[in-house]
Amino acid sequence: MTEQNVKFLEDAFPSWRKLTQGQQDSLKQSAVEQKYAKGVSLHHGSEDCSGLFVVKSGQLRVYTISESGKEITLYRLFDRDICLFSASCMLKNISFDVHVEAEKDTLALLIPTPVYEGLMKNSLVLTDFTNQLLASRFSDVMWVMEQVLFTSFDRRLAAFLLEQSSIESSDTLHITHEEISRHMGSAREVVTRMLKYFQAEGMVTLSRGGIAIVDESKLKKLI
């Protein structure tokens, strides 16, 4: 592994310095750099258990999907975030499936499941860190659930557009209504209807290529 990647791992694991030399070496020697093109799937539910992805650059989307193909985005992972559920087979009592895809071209270090699982068995530090990761994702999912249950659709959509604009650092979003509906777990028609309402209210303009935010403060006020 390159020196730059070693430095990166040290940063990504906040408790790196508390690991023994042997444990640090295991992680360093087993981690493999992987490239994923935009749109590629990194993890399909319980079929896969390749390991933990530590994101170096790019963007991952973690989502769940119903039998009928309806999706909802649970959270996104950015630089230095660690994807735990791609190694969920090592976690006892996880009885749900998530899917992970690259939303942008992504570079990540993959730590194979058997290596991490083996280290956890003898490392209180790593088990405690895994606990924190799990708690963090649990909090993300609770946030989504509270949004779905307790927040009206216009507020959720406004929040989604603003979040997307912040991620893209742009007021123009190249995203289809279909894609938005998959993020939000809603029907495409409902998304289109609300976007048209936002347009009529002068908050966005819709075009074939995407959605332009024209009155950010009005969208913010909605939230």
**Cβ neighbours, 10 Å, residue 82:** 21
Closest approach of Cβ 146 to its own copies, in Å? 7
Q: CB nearer to its own copies: give 13 or 36.
A: 13
**Binding positions for its own copies, rule: CB under 8 A:** 64, 66-68, 70, 72, 91-96, 120, 122-124, 127-128, 130-139, 141-146, 148-150, 185
HSE (side-chain half, CA atoms, 13 Å) at 127 = 8
Is residue 77 within 8 A of residue 59, CB to CB? The reply is yes
Closest approach of Cβ 70 to its own copies, in Å? 6
Closest approach of Cβ 93 to its own copies, in Å? 4
Closest approach of Cβ 72 to its own copies, in Å? 6
Q: CB nearer to its own copies: give 41 or 136.
A: 136
Q: CB nearer to its own copies: give 128 or 171.
A: 128
HSE (side-chain half, CA atoms, 13 Å) at 8 = 22
Task: Calculate the CA dihedral of residues 44, 162, 179, 59 and round it to 10 degrees.
Answer: -30
Q: For the chain, first and last CA: distance in Å?
A: 46
Q: CB nearer to its own copies: give 143 or 197.
A: 143
Q: CB nearer to its own copies: give 1 or 115.
A: 115
Closest approach of Cβ 131 to its own copies, in Å? 5
d(CA 14, CA 136): 14
d(CA 63, CA 134): 15
